[in-house]
Chain A
Amino acid sequence: MDVNVFVGILPLYLIAAAFALPVFTLFIKDRRFFEGYGIVAAGIALVISAKVFMDVTREGIQKYYFGGFPPPLGIAYEVDKMGALLGLVASLIVFITTVYSAWFMRVKGVEWYYALLLGIEAGSVGVLYTGDFFNIFVMLEVLSISAYGLVSFYRWRGKSLSASIEYAIVGSVATGLYFLAVVFLYGAFGTLNLADLTAKAMSDGGYVNQWSGGLFGNAVVASAVALALTMWTITFKSAIFPNYFWLPDVVPEAPTPVSAIFVAVAEVLGVYLFVRFMYTVFSPQSLLSGELRTYFLVFLHILGIVSAFIGALVLNIQRDAKKFIAYSTVNQMGFVFMGLTLGTKEGVVAGLYHLLSNSFGEALLFYCVGVAIWLKGRSLTDAGVLRRNPVIAAGLVVGLLNLFGLPPFMGFFSKYMLFKACLDRGYIVSAVLILVITGISLIGYARFLRGLLSGPSEAVRSRNLIVPLIIVAFITAVIVLLGVGFEYVIHYLNGVVKMAFDSGTYAMNGVYPP
């Protein structure tokens, strides 16, 4: 068994780092120590995830078996290109957010804040790296509990508390339904290993594992029910209609750096799980082929359109900048799901590219708005204060134009690819709707731009802006680079999607002996 230790160590290391942090509060009271601890811990995680990313790019799928049990007996971690890429994006955003938080957070009790931040990273990396669908449930809960805690971090603000409890109740129902799906899948397939599940779903009872046996009962019905239940969790995590309502309530009440994590990292997991379950496990060659699968995809395509439409419409009437970004996320995630549900490789490539554009774009907006909040306030016209610092103002302009979709940036190319993929699939109405919805959202983005360009520029407070300036410049550079070099990015994403669609290789790599 050739294993890659870094795959297994990353989630464990992050959980250990998160749990070790409160111990230091016993004898260290200095805020700067905890900021340094968070930055160093997230930085090491970034290095490890970059190492995993390079290994996967060079040598293909990387594995790690906990306790040395051959799969499907123990917990197996299996990272393909999609997991490695999204894991790298997640740990990059978390690292940047940790640095930003050290500048932003000036309240008491930051030690708990950094512990929960590392918990969020552990959960998301665990979901992206694991090859075991019960472990996905555990890691989703690790992520969720940290997220509930971070939303209620300002525990003296009533609004944060009520947003947190609303999110916690709806979130527990969503993860509970995923647990029900796990039980159904286990009852039908007798396994918890994703690769083993893929092999059994592909062969439709022809493949019998020496440990986990073959199929039990009516596996088609069980997997359809399980998939329907999983879709609830996926639409909840990615804020797709009808489960989008929590995002505009929760994101404005969380601390601003955490809002950036919500829109840039937590959203990614829904997309990852969707591609993993719909294209790798229950691929067109699996026992769930045919009409049922098409219904799933068409239904979610319509939900994506509705979601994008609602996001674009409600965007136009927002006054609060953070609520504006939340609805902008709903709009962009609708586009992502329109691409993912086309059922073609081209569509999934477009969806993933748009996801990257959304993650960096929305995170950039939050970093800029955080500066405006420090200097003045959080309404759209308060963004005018950013004119005092041309780099941050330029970053906000780039972020808005990227999300709207203007040529030199990622957003334009991703929307163009999405449009082309819809046309190639024959969904002409969807292709037209992409243009219409983008046109509607123009009003909202233009209002934010007007707030920036013509809002009053007098600051209420003053701060040293060097840290957010560097961060904003860096993410702006990433957006421009990934937009300008889009041919290389698309080429890489083609490889990612090819690997995600290749259920046979995924199954072969996870079952022991191969």
Chain B
Amino acid sequence: MSELIIPYLLTVVFVSFVINLVIALYGIFARPTLVKKIIALTIFSDSLNSLAIFVGYRVVSGRVPAPPVVVNYTSPQGPAQLAKVTVDPLPQALVLTAIVIGLAVTLFMVKVTMQVHRIYGTTSVRKLERIEHGNKGEEDEGVVE
């Protein structure tokens, strides 16, 4: 029974990640508000990260996979034995890096959005375009003290 259920469940998880990615892409490119774009972007990166964890998952027959921590240092076979019953730890390390980078980017974008709101009084991309189309000759670059 479990031979059928586990692949089925794994497929459901995979498909839901892909659908999540597509929805997030829709949110990023179609929603007009910058805040919603940022939220969609976090959904996008979270789906990517979960997908990476999913790729590192390994089905171990008959039991729950062990955490990838080497405890038996003494025998040379210890790590080799452990590798057969654990999930792959490397995607988790990759995801950790990607999360930290994503945090920095999100923080930057939130800060810039705040500044945009302070200057223009709106965060809607369409309104921003209209405002910028109105005032052209703003060419004070580099000469401001």
Which A residues are closer than 8 A to B by beta carbons? 104-108, 134, 137-138, 141, 144-145, 148-149, 152, 154-159, 161-162, 164-166, 168-169, 172-173, 176, 179-180, 182-184, 186-187, 192, 255-256, 370, 373-374, 377-378, 461
Contact = CB atoms under 8 A, between A and B. Distances in A.
A461 B145 CA distance: 14
Contact of B116 (A161, A179, A183): A161
B interface: dominant SS: helix
Contacts of A373: 139, 141-143
Given A104-B142, A180-B51, A255-B142, 20 more contacts: A106-B144, A107-B145, A134-B97, A144-B105, A155-B115, A156-B119, A158-B128, A158-B132, A161-B115, A165-B112, A172-B45, A173-B25, A179-B52, A180-B48, A186-B55, A186-B91, A256-B142, A373-B142, A373-B143, A461-B143
B128 to A, nearest CB: 5
Interface string B61-94: 0000000000000000000000000000011001
B141 A161 contact: no
A183 B57 CA distance: 12
Interface string B106-120: 001100110110011
14 contacts: A134-B94, A154-B141, A155-B115, A157-B141, A158-B132, A162-B125, A162-B128, A162-B132, A172-B105, A179-B48, A179-B98, A183-B48, A186-B90, A373-B143
Question: 5 tightest A-B contacts by CB?
Answer: A187-B55, A158-B119, A183-B52, A141-B101, A165-B112
Contacts of B91: 183, 186
A168 B108 contact: yes
Interface of B: 25, 28, 34, 37-38, 41, 44-45, 48, 51-52, 55, 90-91, 94, 97-98, 101-102, 104-105, 108-109, 112-113, 115-116, 119-120, 125, 128, 131-132, 138-145
Given A158-B132, A169-B37, A377-B139, A145 B145 contact: no
Nearest to A168: B109
Contacts of B144: 106-107, 154, 156
- Most B-side CB within 10 Å, residue of A104, A155, A183, A370: A183
Nearest to A137: B98
Contacts of A461: 143
Contacts of B55: 183-184, 186-187
Given A107-B144, A154-B141, A169-B37, A159 B113 contact: no
Contacts, number: 115
B51 A138 contact: no
B101 A138 contact: yes
A67 to B, nearest CB: 14
A interface: dominant SS: helix
A493 B113 CA distance: 45
A431 to B, nearest CB: 36
Nearest to A382: B139
A169 B116 CA distance: 14
A169 B48 contact: no
A134 B96 CA distance: 12
A144 B104 CA distance: 11
- Most B-side CB within 10 Å, residue of A144, A158, A373, A378: A158
A324 B25 CA distance: 31
Given A107-B144, A158-B132, A176 B116 contact: no
Contact of A148 (B45, B94, B108, B138): B108
A173 B41 contact: yes
B115 A255 contact: no
Contacts of B142: 104-107, 255-256, 370, 373-374
A176 B109 contact: no
Contacts of B38: 169
Nearest to A370: B142
A81 to B, nearest CB: 29
A149 B115 CA distance: 13
Contacts of B138: 157, 159
A374 B41 CA distance: 38
Nearest to A159: B132
A149 B138 CA distance: 20
A134 to B, nearest CB: 6
Contacts of A374: 142-143
B109 A169 contact: yes
A93 B51 CA distance: 39
- Most B-side CB within 10 Å, residue of A106, A141, A161: A161
B41 A183 contact: no
Contacts of A182: 94
B116 A145 contact: no
Contacts of A166: 125
B55 to A, nearest CB: 4
B28 to A, nearest CB: 6
Given A145-B108, A161-B119, A165-B116, A176 B132 contact: no
A176 B25 CA distance: 11
B45 to A, nearest CB: 6
Contact of B141 (A138, A165, A169, A255): A255
- Most A-side CB within 10 Å, residue of B91, B94, B132: B94
A152 B105 contact: no
Contacts of B125: 162, 166
A25 B125 CA distance: 36
A176 B112 contact: no
